[in-house]
Amino acid sequence: MRLVMIGAPASGKGTQAHKLTRHFNLDHISTGEMLRAEEAKRSELGLVVESYLKRGQLVPDGLVVKLVGERLALNHLAQGFILDGFPRTLNQALALDQALTALGQAIDAALLIEVPDSAVLERITGRRADPETGRIYHLKYSPPPPEILSRLEQRDDDTAELMQARLNTYHERIAPVVAHYREGGLLVAVDGTSSPDAVFAQVLRLLNSRRSPG
């Protein structure tokens, strides 16, 4: 099984990708993790990535396509994979089609995790990190103990203004991608506002219905 995960930041697509990875024994390919790894290494690519993320912008297609193309060429991906965070533009989707065709493969389904912008903003702007332990809390969904509240920090890119900019960019870029997979009969839309387990049950039901004969 070869899947693409589509969803706004904080839509829960990463959580669902991990669940599907374990359930179907697939390889989880997260472009976000790959880019953050480069950023952490302070590599030439990492510095470029950092400059775009700080402005709330997407990393250019060419850089992301290069990373994903190299990963797809690995032999152990033959049993299936989940692409998390890619493609985010139509050019990326077309490049992915070409790369998979060259490998004799194709996408089986594109999962779209749908969450309203208002819910995304609430999920993001409520996050706080404990600089002493590294633990992440949420002021509403996973509140910290009152005694440590004063020392918690909000990440620079978790502000409402920057998050809204990221969402605007996401919607502008992702619409043609969604249309591409819809026209190809590959799009599977899922309501991402429920609990992670409820969303996962919905994902499994929809995927199984596609695999069932008739």
Task: Say if residue 87 is preceded by a cis peptide, omega within 30 of 0.
Answer: yes
User: Active-site residue among 2, 88, 123, 128?
Assistant: 88
Q: Chain-wide mean pLDDT for the chain?
A: 87
User: What does the domain layout of the chain look like in residue ranges?
Assistant: 2-202
User: Active-site residue among 127, 135, 140, 205?
Assistant: 127
User: Active-site residue among 13, 19, 123, 128?
Assistant: 13
Question: 49-63, 178-192, 196-210 — which is least confidently predicted?
Answer: 49-63
Annotated active-site residue 127? The verdict is: yes
User: Is the pTM value of this prediction over 0.85?
Assistant: no
Instruction: Indicate the residue type of 75.
Output: N
- Residue 182 is predicted with a pLDDT of 97
- Residue 85 is predicted with a pLDDT of 81
> The CATH number of 2-202 is which of 3.40.50.720, 3.40.228.10, 3.40.50.20, 3.40.50.300?
3.40.50.300
Residue 17 scores a pLDDT above 70: yes
Show the beta-strand stretches assigned E in the chain. Answer: 2-7, 27-30, 81-84, 109-114, 127-129, 136-138, 187-191
Annotated active-site residue 135? The verdict is: no
- Residue 212 is predicted with a pLDDT of 58
- Residue 75 is predicted with a pLDDT of 59
User: Active-site residue among 55, 151, 155, 210?
Assistant: 155
Three-state SS for 109?
strand
Annotated active-site residue 166? The verdict is: yes
Residue 147 scores a pLDDT above 90: yes
- What's the average model confidence in pLDDT over 93-107? 90
Annotated active-site residue 140? The verdict is: no
28-84: per-residue pLDDT in tens?
888 878 777 777 888 777 788 788 877 767 778 888 887 888 788 775 655 789 998
- Residue 214 is predicted with a pLDDT of 45
Annotated active-site residue 173? The verdict is: no
